[in-house]
Structure 1
């Protein structure tokens, strides 16, 4: 069973340090998948999407290196959703600046009630390494392990400071040119819309062909966006439906989207079922559905959407903004 480090490329420094720790305590480099390092990443000539998909299908032990940057990356969230569905086992490791009460973490694919640990916690690192013994050849030399942990903690102690400085600098640059970009973008879009011929979707998916031809209800499109944005390929139904709707309301508030999905969630879900895009994945003791799983075919498509599909989804989302008169009924916890 290989170890797959799911991470944001912006946290490659933490990932490299983690790889050095794992190899330092005896785990073979051949058992580690870390795409930000050529020695542990994608072989030359391989398609990145197909290669990652095959690695995930082999049911690895996934180390989710969670950070604010991770949850801002659509690629990371898609990777999380795919790995979560078919993984063997996983552990959550948090960067020092990660907030456990963040909306994205509390409502993502991974159960936030599971125990993870901050990457700079010495005691938790010792426990984590000890847990690896069940599946991997970890050295019994405790002196060596303690030495490698000290080296690891020393190597990452300044990462958070560097990241914070980079974020502040980047934010300052963005604020200086934001107004000018907005004006230019509006004028450019007007010109492009008048001159460019409409793009056509040439894929085989009936669902996305219907999307491009305007045959889908808005709630179906918004549900698709919700699935992509939260990396949730399993959705509550039946007696658990209200819990999902509660999550959707929070998501709508955070993203400035109106209540079309939260008020028509049941209808959207039924449409997904009728189109065989979702099937029952869990039932109550009485045999009633309580959870639906998005079909594997649609999951694969959502992990690698063509730009034209993304643009169409975003267009429909923009046409469903939250209005001032809508009052949030969400109990934020």
Structure 2
């Protein structure tokens, strides 16, 4: 093959130079397009991931020399950016991370700028600053997430939070009028928007109980709070333990247990009040007023528990049926003395009645008109009793057959006591009382329960 002439060599050299210039121009145009499309966090420009990766590798290999030189080779970087190391170097130069670079066969020597050496620290500060700025610009909002069946507890929480300064523009509580879902709004859509609304800084109070975990709506709110990483406080209702916390809520996070030691409960409520005061920028409540609000809340919670227990006890009580067997009739086991002409006889004045349980409960140590009638009265059984006022001839003649009652203790209507109590012990050992009141229907007298059974 004949040797190339000097003219041919010059042409080939010029062609290679033109190709290099074209490659450089293409690389610069491509790098410029990527850099110009970079996003900003405030005033800070964020580099694309490939450029960040190459800079990260360069900083790891940088030995701190005064010239800020560092060489990055193909085998030091992942395959994708290593296919275009010159492009990444050009981008880093345009981003201001380099003051110069030189391309070798399989590596690039970079000269780091001061911006390049502090890029990742500056990026972190920019993100933190933007997060603070976004939080400061958001309007705080409190959501009380609870089961509908626990609405009484939610109502008292709303009152407590009102007392520290929150109002209807800062609280959502679906069970309390004025704090619920607006008219004509779709419940789930409206609440979902509150979780994703960038203008709101939503703080969630979880009111936890067995009923909460049985509510699909409540679990949806819990899931939404977890997905959107909302700040929250858990409040455990009486009877619900820390070991029962599950789902998206962390059992390790300190919570408020409403039936815990009262000193601890007061302290936890103090902390919650301070957190909400700071978060919502509220005016601090004077200590003496806060103590009154806190005590009222604790008493209200105790009252709910007492009422629940009373309701539970009442539901487990025997249901008594009182039958008036006779009025002013001869007492069983007695005999009247007749006159010689076999006419007349004693004029009776008494009340004879029987007591029966008509549900499936049992009553023990049944006391009526201060007399123990029976030690056990079971469903379907009946015990009988006769009573008469102290001025009745029946009491004088047959004291063993009739129980004496006094006018001063039992007001009467036509010789009948207007009321009396049945005292007994239920199956759980509670000392209970049921009051019976004299009623009349169509001329017939009867005794009916006067209010709920109450614990003696």
| Range of TM-score over shorter length | 0.3 to 0.5
- Normalised to the residue count of structure 2, the TM-score between the two structures is 0.35
Which has more strand, going by share of residues? 2
Structure number with larger C-alpha Rg: 2
TM-score, with normalisation over the residues of structure 1? 0.47
